[in-house]
Structure formats: C-alpha cells, structure tokens
C-alpha cells in the first residue's frame, strides 16, 4: 500500500489567533418548545467559516473539549457545545425549575428526541447554514440520527471513538442478559420486558454510580442523576451505528476518528461501521493509536489538525481511505 505522509503543523498562525481574540466564548440556557432549558456554550465563526457542533459523551463535561476548542477557534471556526436533555447542567436546570421529577422519567427518551432537540437548538440560535457535526462516544447516536433526519443541515459528520452498539453487548454477562430479556419479551410481552430491563439496569447503575462519580453540579440530587443515566442508557439499547448508511449526505462527508481501544471488538465494530457507510458519502478514517478513548483529552492537537484537513478537504486525504497517525504525520493504513 502506498504510504502517504501528511506533515501537519500543530502551531497555528498567530495572526489568525489575534483576529479571533475578540470572539469570546458565550454560555447561556436556551428554552425549547417543551419548556425545558438546555445549557449551551459557543463561539461564533469568522466570516466564511462553518460551525462545528459537538454532540457529547455520556458523562463528558464540556470543559474537557477546551484544548481542542482553542485550536479550532484560532482557525476561525464556530464552536457549539451543549448538554442534551438529562445531562449535567441541563438536568440541574430542569430539576431546579420544577417541583416534579423530570417528565422523561415517565415518558422515556428516544434517539429521535435527541436529533429533534439539536435541530431546534440550532434553529433557536439562528444557525441555518450547514454545520459540521462531531459526535464523541455516546454522542455518536445523536450525530448519526441528526445526520439521517436532517441531511440538509449537515455539511459533514465526524465520529470520534464512536459508540457502535451498547457496550454491554461485548461482555459475556451482558450478552446473556440481552438474550434473556429478548426471551422475556417474546414469551411474556413488552410490559414484562420493560419491567425486567428496569430492574436489571436500574440496579446496576445504582450500584456503580457511587457518590464520587456524581458531577459536582448534581451532587445535591444523586438519585435523580442516576435515574437520568438509566434513561440515557435505555435510549441507545437498540442502537447500531453499522445500520446507518448516510446515503442522503454529500460525497466524502462521513469521517471517523478511532483511538486505541481496550476491547478489540469495539475497535473492529468502529472500522466495520465506517466500511458500511454508503460508498458515495464515505470520507476518511483516521486512527490515532496513541490516543485514549477520550480523544479531546488525549490528542487535542492531532484531532484539531486533522479536523481541519477534513473540513477543508485537503487533497492528500483520499475518499474512502484509512490513515494512521505517526510521528511523521499520517500514512495510509
């Protein structure tokens, strides 16, 4: 296989940095039609530059994107972060403004709810141009569903160490539980299936999410936080990124960043999801072998640089090809 070296610069132009210094990071709450406020942070783009919209990891705090954000902002890109329904400051705000438990504790949450939420947030903020959507880990299901439902709003979609299927499916105990739950559903119907699912996963989260794992913003409502996590996990129980083809998106517009994974099956599924993307819309896959799952924490410079390559359609990246990061840049993999 032909080796291609892409020499990257990790130090961005100081002139550009000075030009963007006036662009300050804004934070606010935005109320949607359901009456619930979502927390957002953003920096507006320079003229001619696109918005990059980030869909977050399940328990990932926005400030952890900081190093990657700085490098993208220095290049003039707009940055848009938010906490989705049930997450962190959005959850805290919902609880603060109501004497009742969050309504989704009764109604549940589905993947379409998250895509619709993002669509409405962008509309409220007056972001009408096509955006670059970057989905990290759990956020892959939001990015994928948004791209499928609102292809006219998406310039490109980038998956970072994406969730492909629920992680318990890689564990023998999880597979056994999944099989038994399907048996309950087949033999006894959806009511008993939901009851069994609730008992198993509700108990698991109550035991696993100890006080030290509750975010500071939610320390006063740990049980509400655990309950919210249950519904967020439940929302992706049937998710499979390999089923998404993205055939309605533009050519060369679906990209993947993959990191070093502890479980080889997770890594293999991420590669399979990329390979299964419609050949027309499939873009590039970049493997960061020295990065941990939380790519913005462990490889912010490389991620920012390669995001710029993708957004600007650097001709050295060939459509449909895979690349590996090395000390000399990228090479075909």
Residue with tokens 């439902």: 149
Rounded to 5 degrees, φ, ψ at 200 are: -70, -55
**pTM metric for this prediction:** 0.88
pLDDT at 11: 29
CA nearest 159: which of 276, 49, 73? 276
CA nearest 22: which of 1, 44, 6, 51? 44
The H or E element that residue 37 is part of is strand 37-43
pLDDT at 189: 75
Q: Alpha carbon of 117 to those of 31, 41, 103, 127, 164: distances in Å?
A: 11, 15, 15, 14, 21
pLDDT at 187: 72
Tens digit of pLDDT at every position of the chain (333 positions):
333 333 333 223 333 333 334 468 999 999 999 999 999 999 999 999 999 999 999 999 999 999 999 999 999 999 999 999 999 999 999 999 988 999 999 999 999 999 999 999 999 999 999 999 999 999 999 999 999 999 999 999 999 999 999 877 766 555 556 656 666 567 777 766 666 666 667 677 777 788 888 888 899 999 999 999 999 998 998 899 999 999 999 999 999 999 987 688 999 999 999 999 999 999 999 999 999 999 999 999 999 999 999 999 998 899 999 999 998 889 999
Buried b (16+ CB within 10 A) or exposed e, 246-278: beebeebbbbbbbbeeeeeebbebbeebbeebe
């Amino acid at each position: 296989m032909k080796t291609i070296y892409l020499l990257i610069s990790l130090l961005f132009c100081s002139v550009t940095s000075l030009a963007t210094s006036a662009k300050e990071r804004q934070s606010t709450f935005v109320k949607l039609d359901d009456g619930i406020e979502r927390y957002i942070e953003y920096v507006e783009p320079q003229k001619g530059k696109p918005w990059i919209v980030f869909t977050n990891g399940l328990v990932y705090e926005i400030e952890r994107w900081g190093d990657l954000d700085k490098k993208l902002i220095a290049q003039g890109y707009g940055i848009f972060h938010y906490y989705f329904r049930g997450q962190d400051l959005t959850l805290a705000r919902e609880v603060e403004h109501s004497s009742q438990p969050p309504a989704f504790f009764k109604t549940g949450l589905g993947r379409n709810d998250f895509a619709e939420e993002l669509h409405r947030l962008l509309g409220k903020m007056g972001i009408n141009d096509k955006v670059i959507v970057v989905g990290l880990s759990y956020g892959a299901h939001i990015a994928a569903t948004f791209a499928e439902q609102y292809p006219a709003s998406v310039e490109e979609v980038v998956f970072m160490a994406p969730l492909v299927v629920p992680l318990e499916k890689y564990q023998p105990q999880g597979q056994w539980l999944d099989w038994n739950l399907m048996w309950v559903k087949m033999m006894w119907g959806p009511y008993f299936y939901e009851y069994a699912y609730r008992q198993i996963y509700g108990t698991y989260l109550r035991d696993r999410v100890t006080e030290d794992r509750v975010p500071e913003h939610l320390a006063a409502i740990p049980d509400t936080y655990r309950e919210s996590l249950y519904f967020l996990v439940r929302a992706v129980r049937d998710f499979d990124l390999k089923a998404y083809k993205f055939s309605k998106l533009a050519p060369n517009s679906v990209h993947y960043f993959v990191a070093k994974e502890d479980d080889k099956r997770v890594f293999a599924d991420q590669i399979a999801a990329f390979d299964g993307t419609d050949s027309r819309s499939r873009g590039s896959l970049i493997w960061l072998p020295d990065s941990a799952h939380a790519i913005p924490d462990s490889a912010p410079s490389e991620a920012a640089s390669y995001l710029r390559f993708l957004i600007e359609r650097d001709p050295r990246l060939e459509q449909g090809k895979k690349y590996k990061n090395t000390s000399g840049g990228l090479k075909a993999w």
